[in-house]
Amino acid sequence: MSKKSSEVQSTRNVQQYIKELVQYVDQKKGTEIIVFDVRGISPITDYLVITTGLSEIHKRTIAEHIMQHGRPNHVEGCEIGQWILLDYFDVIVHIFSQEAREFYGLERLWGDAPQLSVDYDTSTP
């Protein structure tokens, strides 16, 4: 499977889009937000945004808030809620329960990839 070009890249800067995604997660109180730069490492995406939600409703609320600002190309896990995946091609957002995050260990899997420090406006509601 090869990475496809996305509307995100053609309409706005991917770095800015990541900043916005992290801000949307923070607005709904997602915890432990990490962004990995997996360009050149992953054949399917350039960036991973990983966060934790405190409950099934909380994870779904985070995902719905993100999707209000841009429709992903693919969504997985909204019905079950342990791990919700929003695929924007250039960026994949993972919203985990604490248990699923520890079990799947994406931080261990992608630990060699650089982490991005993302500054965003915390005053925006």
Query: Per residue in 89-104, pLDDT tens?
Result: 999 999 999 999 999 9
Please check whether residue 90 lies inside any domain of the structure: yes
- CATH number, domain containing residue 72: 3.30.460.10
Query: Per residue in 24-79, pLDDT tens?
Result: 999 999 999 999 999 999 999 999 999 999 999 999 999 999 999 999 999 999 88
Number of domains into which the chain is organized: 1
pLDDT at 10: 43
Structure tokens at 65: 């808030």
Please check whether residue 121 lies inside any domain of the structure: no
Q: Are 116 and 22 in contact (CB under 8 A)?
A: no
Please check whether residue 1 lies inside any domain of the structure: no
- Strand arrangement of the beta sheet that strand 47-52 belongs to: 74-76, 83-87, 91-96, 47-52, 31-37, 115-116
* Distance from chain centroid for Cα 75: 11
Residue identified by tokens 């997602």 is 30
Please check whether residue 122 lies inside any domain of the structure: no
pLDDT at 33: 96
Please check whether residue 112 lies inside any domain of the structure: yes
Please check whether residue 125 lies inside any domain of the structure: no
Confidence of residue 4 (pLDDT cuts 50, 70, 90): very low
From residue 13, how far is each of 6, 9, 91 by CA, in Å?
11, 6, 12
Please check whether residue 28 lies inside any domain of the structure: yes
Residue identified by tokens 């966060």 is 51
Range of the domain at 98: 7-116
Please check whether residue 123 lies inside any domain of the structure: no
Residues in the chain: 125
